[in-house]
Amino acid sequence: MRRATTAVLAAATLLLLSGCAGQAAPASDVPASSAVPGSTEAALEGTVTVFAAASLKATFTELAQEFEAAHPGVTVELSFAGSSDLVTQITEGAPADVFASADEKNMAKLIDAGVVDAAAPVDFATNVLTIAVPPGNPGGVARLADLADPGIATVLCAPQVPCGAAAETLEKAAGVTIPAVSEESSVTDVLGKVTSGEADAGLVYVTDVVAAGDAVEGIDIAESAEAVNTYPIAPVAGAQNPAAARAFVELVTGSAGRDVLAAAGFGAP
């Protein structure tokens, strides 16, 4: 009796632990779906899991709704995080059907890992840096060169993250050295320092300024074309639902996708 209790408890605990480890076995939602790989024009069904860069949150949430409206049988699961986090999760086996990266470098990592076909990625958007300042522009910032003044507290992304790498490129191209007071690990943190007024200026993406609404003002950078960030998207090889994955990628790269992305400030590839 006691031994049985022990075994049951141990098993239950292990199950719990494995349940915590990630999304539960995808097998459990597939049986309901009759989606057979290859039958493209047939009605799509099941779940399609999209891993997308954090900066795509608003646009992809909207696009997912459009997709579900167009394909009533499909549920879109969205997971947003930093591109490199997502790459780590996918290579560790997270069940992604589509990956949308904020830069080409992270997409390349997945190609190297054999998770994405080399020919699969499609560029669907671009983003450029802009100067975000608190409302009223207390630092009186007018152009990129102004940020070289140590009296202006400027926050950048750390060079290790994509927005920081872009900022570094821009600095070199424009011949400006910015004495940053902080180098954040994410663009959200940069924006946070600007909206709270801690910093006089921050280099962020145009889309971030659009999304932030009245909380910040954006000041266009004349040299912004020197550092253009390109967003690639691709279905993941071995996707659970390849048909829906392809359809989702088509939606994002098509005109509907273009409209939503443009409204959010993204440029065309």
Partner 1 sequence: MSGSTYGGVPRWVAAVAAVGAAFVVLPLVAMLLRVNWADFVPLITSESSLDALGLSLRTSLASTALCVMLGVPMAVVLARTRFWGQKVLRSLVLLPLVLPPVVGGIALLYTFGRRGLLGQGFEAFGVTIAFSTTAVVLAQTFVALPFLVLSLEGALRTVGTRYEAVGATLGARPTTVLRRITLPLVLPALVSGAVLSFARALGEFGATLTFAGSLQGVTRTLPLEIYLQRETDPDAAVALSLVLVVVAVVVVAVAHRAGEPAGLRLRRRAR
For partner 1, the closer of residues 33 and 185 by Cβ is 185
CA angle 98, 246, 26 (to 5 degrees): 50
Per CB under 8 A, does 84 bind partner 1? yes
Q: Which one of residues 48, 60, 71, 82 is an interface residue with partner 1 (CB under 8 A)?
A: 82
For residue 192, which phi and psi values (nearest 5 degrees)? -60, -40
Q: How far is the CB of 94 from partner 1 (least distance, A)?
A: 16
Q: How far is the CB of 167 from partner 1 (least distance, A)?
A: 14
Count of residues that interact with partner 1, criterion CB under 8 A: 30
Q: Measuring CA to CA, which residue among 45, 109, 50, 47 is closest to residue 252?
A: 50
Per CB under 8 A, does 161 bind partner 1? yes
Per CB under 8 A, does 192 bind partner 1? yes
Q: Which one of residues 44, 90, 155, 174 is an interface residue with partner 1 (CB under 8 A)?
A: 155
Of 36-44, 64-72, 156-164, 230-238: span binding partner 1 (CB under 8 A): 156-164
Per CB under 8 A, does 18 bind partner 1? no
Q: How many CB atoms lie within 10 A of CB 13?
A: 10
Per-residue burial over 162-191, b if 16 or more Cβ lie within 10 Å, else e, is bbbbbbbbbbeebeeebebebbbebbbbbb
Quote the CA–CA distance of 90 and 109 in Å, as a whole number: 11
Q: How far is the CB of 197 from partner 1 (least distance, A)?
A: 4
Per CB under 8 A, does 2 bind partner 1? yes
- Written as six digits, the tokens of 115 are 């998770």
For partner 1, the closer of residues 103 and 208 by Cβ is 103
Q: How far is the CB of 179 from partner 1 (least distance, A)?
A: 10
Per CB under 8 A, does 32 bind partner 1? no
Please check whether residue 96 is in contact with residue 50, taking contact to mean a CB–CB distance below 8 angstroms.
Answer: yes
Interacting positions 170-189 with partner 1 (CB under 8 A): 180-185, 189
For partner 1, the closer of residues 46 and 164 by Cβ is 164
For partner 1, the closer of residues 4 and 69 by Cβ is 4
Q: Which residues bind partner 1 (CB under 8 A)?
A: 2-3, 5-6, 9-10, 13-14, 17, 82, 84, 88, 153, 155, 158, 160-161, 180-185, 189, 192-193, 196-199
